[in-house]
Every structure is written in structure tokens, then in C-alpha cells.
Structure 1
Amino acid sequence: MLPLLLSLLGGGLLCFAFPTFDVWVAAPVALALWAWSWTGAGGRRGFLLGLAGGLVFFVPTLSWSGIYVGSLPWLALATLESLFVGLAGALYGWLSRRGTVRPLAFALVWVVTEGLRSRAPYGGFPWVKLAFSQADSPFGRLVAVGGAPFVGFAIALAAALAALTVQRALTSPGRGRGSVVAENAGSPSSPRMPSRGIWLPVLAALVLGLVGLAVPLPTDGATTQFLGVQGNVARPGLDFNAERRAVLDNHVAATLKAQQDVAAGRAPAPDLVVWPENASDIDPLRNADAKDEILTTVQTLHRPLIVGGLLEEPVGFLSNVALLFEPGKGNTDRYVKRHPVPFAEYIPNRSFWRNFSKEVDLVRSDFVPGSRPGVFTVTTATGQQIRAGLAICFEVAYDDIMRDAVQTGANVLVVQTNNATFGYTAESPQQLAISRVRAMEFGRSVVHVSTVGQSALITPDGTAHQVTSLFTQAVVRGALPLRDATTLATRVGEAPEWVAAAALVAMLALGLRRGRPAGPRTPTGRAPQKPPETVPETVPHTPKEEDDDDAA
């Protein structure tokens, strides 16, 4: 019962690490509870413990996904994501079946299972990866070294080290003869060794928690002026764009009002203007009225404009796009969203899922994925070159999509999103937090623009400036540095995840070769008590080889 309660408590506590609570320290504490409660559980019970803890975390944290579509999609998504936490519990429960907390094993399991849920099924759902709760923490700065997986590894390792400290404290001399610490000390008469054995793991955890402060997050570079336009919609909900022309008109009006401030000398002229996703759900390449509105706006600005829109192509399908319009040239470039959202922008295996719900046919036309990274290149009035790397909505959560844009040459990132379908929930703040982490990861400024908020300008150190309120018309404007230097995380790419996967496979193979232990142990690391006559008190215990191995 106690392991279940601790696992549930860990899941509930992890909720507080993410927006809108933003208590980042809750993440390592929550994972310490999971490491403690899953230790010694074995595969089957470890899965159930992980699943229970995962549900307590994902159900409230992803509640925004059901705000307008009902509880079934929300609970289905939360359950699916929780299965990966269950897998983590099963793998770690089996690896720690001897009853000793294994920090390295726990950290490797966490990275690998989080990587799996970021890729499967249907491309995965990496939304609330552990790293995305750490924009304001020392752990978060490690993202510039090894990306989001490395941040998750560091937190999980620190958490399990803290759990190991608790375990050793509970089994130290004075709490029972023949404890793990006493064995590792070599003799009960060595008073200093047990103390060092207890506290070394927690000291290592503290080092992991603070080492990120040494990671530089430079913000230097030539600056250029950006304007992000949050035009707002008529109403929140699934019918946010029922009046599609009104949404387009909102963005035109807000942009022209901002231009009046430029003309009056109250604000600097922007070098690039950004509208959000769905700013023009009227196909601006096929509808003359929409196209005229956009071209007139561009001519008034005398500057390039990135428009989020929908194209009625290819035949029978739709494309979610970012379109670049330039004065005197019209539409000069496009980026097609590479990762449409399953069950929202397209229905995978439609005939199969129709057996469970006719609601799948509410998505009448599937969106098609783009095939290449999006980088728009424009030249400012002073001759600077802006190379804007594009991501549309949920794409900001996918490591490879963001990294591809930077490796293609982006010196600034542009995230266009539409949060109208999630109402006044935590979805928008959660997304903004992801953009902040991306800024630190790649050393790039981010122009994060939403139809309804939150929008912000983000500097490469992850600081969000001019954060807007939800469902208001607003603009974000100012100078951001353009940077070409690449972080170590950009250069190593997916390597940390593959290394973790290889190490975990080796650890599992080694565990299979050794076979199962003779008997179960409790999560505190204690084996069942043997009859007194089999272990005379006058004979000191010697360290067992497998106990040394369990330290991993």
C-alpha cells in the first residue's frame, strides 16, 4: 500500500512543476518518490505503480485537451501517455528487483521511455516532457548541452540519488544489524564510513542540481526589430473561426494600428511582422478578397509579413502553412506544417477508429504533412539577413523539427500557434514554456505568436518579454538578437537518447543473464529476515557482488 501511495503522491506533485503552477523543484521531488516507490517492485507491480502515478499526473495536466471535445479524448490521451510511465515502472521495477535503488538505471529508463512516448504512436506526443517544466531552474540550462533528454536524465538521476540517500539512512547502523550501509562499510566498528555512504548520493544530487548554473546562455548578437500580432477571435472554442473573415480582419486591424505608432514615431519600424497560425483560414492564394487584404497590409508596412493560413491543396486535402509575403513581390515562400496533429488535423486509420466513435468524421478533410524544414530569409533595411526558422503550433514540442530549422540555418525561431480551441486553460502557458526552453536549447531568439495569447518575445536565455493575456488583441514588439553560433545540443542531436537506449539495453541484457534473485526484497532494500542461527552476530557481513552492481 505504501508504494502505491508514494507513486500517486509523486504523480500529483509532478503536476505542480508545469504551468500554471511553475514550481520547478516539484519535478525532482516527484521523481524521487517514483524511484523510491518503484524500487523492488518487479516488472508487473512496477507497471501498475507507474500507470497509477502517470494517471494522477497526466489527467489533470492534459485536462485542456477535453475542454470543448469532451472527456473521452482527454482521458484516452492521458491514459495512453500514462502507459509509458507504466512501462518505466515495469523496466525499473525489474532492474531494481533486488530492492536497492539504482540511480543510473532509473535515469536511463526515464530518458528512453520519455523518448518512446515522444515518437509513438502516430509520431508521439512529447508535450509535457520533464525538461519543459524547467525553464526557470538550473536543470533547465543543461538543455543547451544535450537537449531536452539530457535535462530529463539529470533530473531523474538526481531524484534517484536522493531516494538512495533515504534508503541508506533507513537501513543504516542503529536501524538494523546487517544493513546495506553497514555491509559496504566493511565493519560496524567503522563510524565514519556509514555517514559518508549515506550522504554521498545526496551531495551528488545537489551537484547535478547546481551544475547547470555554469552553462552559459549568451544573448549577444546584432539585433533586429520584430512585431508579433495577436489579433484575437470572436469566441473561444471549436467554432473560433466560424467567422473566418472576422479573424483575418482582426489581424489586419491590429497590424495597421501598430503601424500608426511607427508612423507617429512612437515605436520603431519592424523588420519582420509575424501573424499566428490560422490568422487567415480563408485560402489567401485562392480567395481574392483575403489576398488583397494581406497585400494591402504588406504595402502599408513596407516590410515582410509571415501569415499563418490554410491552403485548399492538394485536391481533397488541406495544408496548414506559413506564408511569406513581401512588398512588391507578393507571396514568395511557404512552409507546410510537417507534423499535423493526429485526430485533430487528420484521422489515422479512419475506418478502424470509426468503429469506436463516429466523431472521427468531424474532421472532413485531412491535413497533409510538409516534407522539408521551414526557413524564411529576408533582408532588413540595414542589410541584415533574417533567417526565420518556422514551427507551427504543437511542432514546437518536437525536438527534431526545431533542431532541423536551426541546422538549416535559422538565426531566429518563429512559433505560430492558435490556442483558441483550448479556452482559458494551461495549454497556452505550457506551450510558451516549451518555446522558452527551445530558446535556451538552440541559443536562438523566439518570436512566439498566438491568435489569442499567450504571445511573447523570447531572448536566447529563455526570458519571455511582453507576455500577453489570453483572448485579448495585442502586439509584441521589440529588438531581438540574431545568432548563428550553435550550441552543443544542436550539434549532438539525438545522440544522448541513443546512448541512453544502448546503455539500458546492455543493463537489461546483463540482468537477464544473472537471472532472478532467490527471493523478493522490499522497497527499503531489506531482504526477508533469515533465522538467527544462519547468520551469527559474531560474523561480520561482507559486501555482495550484486549489491555493488545495484548502485548503478
Structure 2
Amino acid sequence: MPLWAALVVSGIGGALLDVALPSLAWWPMAWVAVALALVSLIGRRVGAALLTGLVFGLAFYLLNLDFTAAWVGPIPWLALSGLEALFVAGGAALIALAYRWVPRTVPRRGRVLVTSLLVAGLWTAREAVSGGFPYGGFPWGRVGTSQVNGPFAEVVSWTGTAGLTFLVVAVVAAGVELARAPRRRGARGVRWLLPVAVLALIATAMLAVPAWATTPAGTMRVASVQGNGPAGYFDVRDAGDVLESQYDATKPLFGSEDVDVVLWPEGSVDLDPEGSVAAAAALDRVTRQLGAPLVANRVDQRGDEYFNMSFLWRDGTGIEQTYDKRNPVPFGEYVPDREFYDAIAPDLIGMIGRDYTPGTNAPVFDIDGTIAGLAICFDVIYDALIWEGAADGAQVYLFQTNNADFRGTDENLQQLAVARLRAIETGRAVVNLSTVGTSQVIAPDGTTIDGLVADAPGHMLTDVPLRTGLTPAVVIGPWINAALSWGSVIVLAGLGVVAGVRARGNAKTPAP
């Protein structure tokens, strides 16, 4: 494919990957997007592959992350999109090397299988790198996440999101290779069918294997409240306005029976109840009227440090347990290397007046004997935190978020898609609660039990199923990620060494 055509095809592929994610969420487009990305890299040298991958990354991220420009302008949007696109470019260069080196080092009968698995592993490795670097990474817009609405979503309970990405790319890469492979008759043709059969078996298993079944352990009655208050960074408000909106939206629930826990979203308490008599009285009345503890969230200052803190409050005792957000958002909740970036964009950096410190405490609350796993906003996109909650005994997940800064965008739907995938991955129900929406209660199989419309106050009173037992994704997810990512890079490096040795050997062999 000429380079100009490859750039066009790659750009179309990047745009289609965005179509596969919310708000459109046309999951088959991810398969088409991956196919276009791969065919644009076949035969490319490293420099051209870098450019081709950069085009794919920019086309995807500029569309997918446009919500980052909603309130603060184009600079953060362009910077984040450009950075993530550079990671895609690096991954594209490695995939192009795989297409070059596999034919030089692998016997013909194994090339389809090796190429497919290696390309899929390198794609997964690129997602792993961008999801962990720099400043904790940004694992957003993964191919596996795009499949949450499709027939392959249940695979995630066995493999995690990285494994689902790997399988999707492997099947697509196999289709590309089979379309390119020369047809042969006789015994050679039969041998050619072996890798086809293996990959067909993988694809069939993705459709046929059900999600891992966790064990039912009763229910928890959760009263979750979406206050729709002025919780955005730029919303005009006085201290206590968000708390008031949450309290007002909770009052219709007063007198409800058999409530086990009340859940409020991220940023729901904008006064320190340990220093404000009025705030403490409001929280006490909520827990007293509903006869259940309250899980809420506020900013907590300890000395010179700030924490995005969720807490369990009970009438008469106040705060009993706390969880500090493990993954504060770089350039949103804190500024890494502040002096450096302040010299580049002082007006933007100056808007972030305080830096949140990452938490270290366990992401679970013990709510009268029921263990609830926790995640605050973008915490939900980090595999390790979710797996830690399940390993610590979580029987249900309570996700608190504040999407007020992204009203009118599809950010909340993209985050909700991740929450749905987490439910399937862990075999646990999820209560995903936002200040402004979209809020839903999600069953362990990913279906919606209850929900609230966005941009309006409301509440849900839901009997949420509890589960015990760990899925394979939770138990071996870290090993799957490491094996697919580092394993593929090691294999590629080995093929490169073999190809180089053979090339030097051929160069020294005299012509007959």
C-alpha cells in the first residue's frame, strides 16, 4: 500500500475505533478499525510506520477525548491526544517490525499463527505502556472496553480487559493474514489449515464460553442519590451548596425501610463535617432517617496534603472508615513537576490550586459485615485497584464519580462502559453513582438493574445482589497482562536477532 493511502486508511481506522466506544458504541467497528490499522502497517519501514500509527492515534484520541476541551479549551485536549498518539506510533513501529521479521524467521506453515499472536501481543503491550506511563498512565479507550456491548464481553471475566484486547486483535490479525496468504493445493493446503483451525477455535470460544460464575451471597439494599448540584469546577456556588443539593435529593427516601447503606457521589460533601456543625447535623439526619450508614466523599486536608476522600458516616459516631483516591488525575487533581509545566502554561496550571496526594489505604469498606469495593471516578479505569478490592473480599462495588465538568459530552458514558465491564470482569454488581449522571446499578452480568437520567436530581432504592468468589481475571489478570505485553516484546526482540544473524549470514555467502 502506498504511504499516502496507508495514512488515509489509518486515519479512517482511528475514527472508527472512536465509533466503537460510547456514545455511539457500535462495537463491530473496533474490529474494522483494527483491521485498517494493521493493513496500513504491512510492509512499512519504521519511520513510515511511526507516521502511520501517529495518524491512527490522533484520529482516535482527538475524537475520543474531545470532552477534555469542554471547559478549559484546546490545549489539554491537544496535549493529551498528542501524547497518547505518540504511544500508538511507537506500538505501530513494533507491529511493522513483526510483519517484517516473522516471514524471515518462522517456517511458512506457522506464520499465520505466529504473526497473529505476536501482533496482538504488541498491540496489548502498547495499551499497557500508555496505561501506566507517565504519571500513572491513562488506560482509556482500550479495544477491550469497546466490546462491552457485544457478544464477547463475557470473555473479560476470564482474561481481563487486556486479554480481551489481545483476543480481538489476534482474530482480526489472523483474518488479515489469511486474506494475504497464497492458496495451495494438496498436503501443503492441509497444513495451511492448521493455524486457521486454531484461530477459529479461539473465536468460537470467545462466543461460546460463558462468564465465570461467582457465588450468590444475598443482597444489599442501597439507597443511592444523584443530587445534580453545582459540583463542577467552574460552577458558581457557595460552600455547602453541593451538600444541600444531595440532602434535598435524599429527603424523599426518608422513612424507607430495611436500607443497608446510603451512597452519595464524589464531591458530595463540600463542608468539613468534623468542623461544621450544620454539615454534621445533615449527615446525622440522613443516617438516622434511613437507619443506615452513609458513604459520601469530600476533600480532606491533613497538614499540607489534600486527599480525595470517601468516608463511612454513622449517626452518633461520625466518620468510621475512610478511603483516599488511589489515582488522582494528573493535570486535573494535581500537577506533576509543577514548576516545569507552570513555565509552559502558567494560566492553565494556575487553575489547579491544590495537589491531591495518592491514597494508600485499602479500597474497601466493611458495612455491617458486607465488604464493599470502592473506586473514585477515574480509579475505575485502573485494573490493579479493582482487582485489589475483589481480593480484599468485596462482595459489591460502590463507584463514586463527579462528571459535572463534562456535562454535554460522552465522558460519563465512556466511564460507565468501563464500570459495566468491571462488573462482568469481577462477577460483582456495581453501583455507579455520579453527581449529575449517568448513574446506574449494574448486575454482575453487565445488565442494568436500575438507573437515573442525567442532569436531574433523583434517587434509586435497589436490592443489589452480592457475590463471593474470584474470577480468573482477578486471580491471574496481572500475569496475563505481563505475559502478553512483555512476552510479545521479548519474542519480537528474539525474532529481530535471528533475522539479523540470517541477513549477515546470507550477505557472507558467495554467489554460485
TM-score (norm 2): 0.90
- 1:20-99 alignment to 2 at 5 Å? 20-97=23-100
Equivalent pair of 1:59/1:78 in contact (CA under 8 Å): yes
Matched with 1:378 is 367
Equivalent pair of 2:380/2:386 in contact (CA under 8 Å): yes
Q: Identify if the C-alpha distance between structure 1 residues 104 and 213 changes in structure 2 by more than 3 Å, giving closer, same or farther.
A: same
Confirm or deny that 1:151 pairs with 2:187.
Answer: no
Equivalent pair of 1:229/1:275 in contact (CA under 8 Å): yes
Matched with 1:177 is none
Matched with 1:336 is 324
Matched with 1:229 is 225
| Amino acid paired to 2:219 | T
Q: Quote the offset at 1:460 in angstroms.
A: 0.7
Distance across 2 between alignment mates of 1:362 and 1:333: 31
Q: Identify if the C-alpha distance between structure 1 residues 17 and 205 changes in structure 2 by more than 3 Å, giving closer, same or farther.
A: farther
Confirm or deny that 1:257 pairs with 2:252.
Answer: yes
**3-state SS of the aligned residue for 1:371?**
coil
Confirm or deny that 1:499 pairs with 2:483.
Answer: yes
| Amino acid paired to 2:176 | A
Equivalent pair of 1:233/1:241 in contact (CA under 8 Å): no
| Amino acid paired to 2:496 | G
Matched with 1:10 is 13
Q: Identify if the C-alpha distance between structure 1 residues 225 and 3 changes in structure 2 by more than 3 Å, giving closer, same or farther.
A: same
Q: Deviations over 1:54-83 (max 9, x none)?
A: 110110111001100100101111111111
Distance across 2 between alignment mates of 1:139 and 1:192: 34
Matched with 2:449 is 465
Equivalent pair of 2:363/2:385 in contact (CA under 8 Å): no
Matched with 2:297 is 308
Structure with a larger share of its residues in helix? 2
Q: Quote the offset at 1:349 in angstroms.
A: 0.4
- 1:377-416 alignment to 2 at 5 Å? 377-379=366-368, 385-416=369-400
Q: Identify if the C-alpha distance between structure 1 residues 106 and 117 changes in structure 2 by more than 3 Å, giving closer, same or farther.
A: same
Matched with 2:333 is 345
Equivalent pair of 1:308/1:321 in contact (CA under 8 Å): yes
Matched with 1:513 is 498
Matched with 1:382 is none
Matched with 1:521 is none
| Amino acid paired to 2:250 | T
Q: Deviations over 1:135-187 (max 9, x none)?
A: 1223221111121110110011011011112212xxx4xxxxxxxx4xxx3xx
Matched with 2:507 is none
Which segments of 5 or more consecutive residues in structure 1 lack a partner in the other structure?
Answer: 173-180, 263-267, 380-384, 519-533, 535-552
| Amino acid paired to 1:511 | G
- Once structures 1 and 2 are overlaid, which stretch shifts more, 69-78 or 277-286? 277-286
**3-state SS of the aligned residue for 2:40?**
helix
Matched with 2:351 is 362
State the structure with more CA Rg: 1
Distance across 1 between alignment mates of 2:353 and 2:204: 49
Matched with 1:540 is none
Distance across 2 between alignment mates of 1:438 and 1:295: 32
Q: Deviations over 1:305-349 (max 9, x none)?
A: 1011111x2223321111101233221111111111111111110
Which segments of 5 or more consecutive residues in structure 2 lack a partner in the other structure?
Answer: 104-111, 504-510
Equivalent pair of 1:111/1:153 in contact (CA under 8 Å): yes
Distance across 2 between alignment mates of 1:4 and 1:20: 26
Confirm or deny that 1:123 pairs with 2:136.
Answer: yes
Q: Identify if the C-alpha distance between structure 1 residues 360 and 224 changes in structure 2 by more than 3 Å, giving closer, same or farther.
A: same
Confirm or deny that 1:437 pairs with 2:421.
Answer: yes
Distance across 2 between alignment mates of 1:444 and 1:134: 18
Distance across 1 between alignment mates of 2:444 and 2:26: 22
Distance across 2 between alignment mates of 1:241 and 1:315: 27
Confirm or deny that 1:427 pairs with 2:411.
Answer: yes
Matched with 1:279 is 268
Equivalent pair of 2:293/2:314 in contact (CA under 8 Å): yes
Aligned length: 489
Distance across 2 between alignment mates of 1:241 and 1:457: 30
Q: Identify if the C-alpha distance between structure 1 residues 471 and 461 changes in structure 2 by more than 3 Å, giving closer, same or farther.
A: same
Equivalent pair of 1:424/1:470 in contact (CA under 8 Å): no
Distance across 1 between alignment mates of 2:167 and 2:417: 19
- Once structures 1 and 2 are overlaid, which stretch shifts more, 295-304 or 394-403? 295-304
| Amino acid paired to 2:57 | G
Confirm or deny that 1:132 pairs with 2:153.
Answer: no
Matched with 2:106 is none
Q: Identify if the C-alpha distance between structure 1 residues 210 and 468 changes in structure 2 by more than 3 Å, giving closer, same or farther.
A: farther
Q: Quote the offset at 1:270 in angstroms.
A: 2.0
Distance across 2 between alignment mates of 1:335 and 1:90: 41
Q: Quote the offset at 1:105 in angstroms.
A: 1.6
Distance across 2 between alignment mates of 1:150 and 1:53: 22
Q: Deviations over 1:38-62 (max 9, x none)?
A: 1221322111111100110110111
- Once structures 1 and 2 are overlaid, which stretch shifts more, 399-408 or 413-422? 399-408
- Once structures 1 and 2 are overlaid, which stretch shifts more, 406-415 or 191-200? 191-200
Distance across 1 between alignment mates of 2:136 and 2:38: 28
Instruction: Work out which of the residue numbers 476, 485, 500 in structure 1 matches 2:460.
Output: 476
Q: Quote the offset at 1:481 in angstroms.
A: 1.4
- Runs of 4+ in structure 1 deviating by more than 6 angstroms, as ranges, are none
| Amino acid paired to 2:36 | L
**3-state SS of the aligned residue for 2:90?**
helix
Instruction: Work out which of the residue numbers 194, 198, 208 in structure 1 matches 2:203.
Output: 208
Q: Quote the offset at 1:412 in angstroms.
A: 0.8
Q: Deviations over 1:97-122 (max 9, x none)?
A: 26967211210101111000110000
Distance across 2 between alignment mates of 1:146 and 1:240: 41
Matched with 2:175 is 162
Distance across 2 between alignment mates of 1:82 and 1:205: 32
Distance across 1 between alignment mates of 2:306 and 2:430: 27
Distance across 2 between alignment mates of 1:217 and 1:475: 31
Matched with 1:541 is none
Distance across 2 between alignment mates of 1:124 and 1:512: 30
Q: Quote the offset at 1:193 in angstroms.
A: 5.6
| Amino acid paired to 2:432 | H
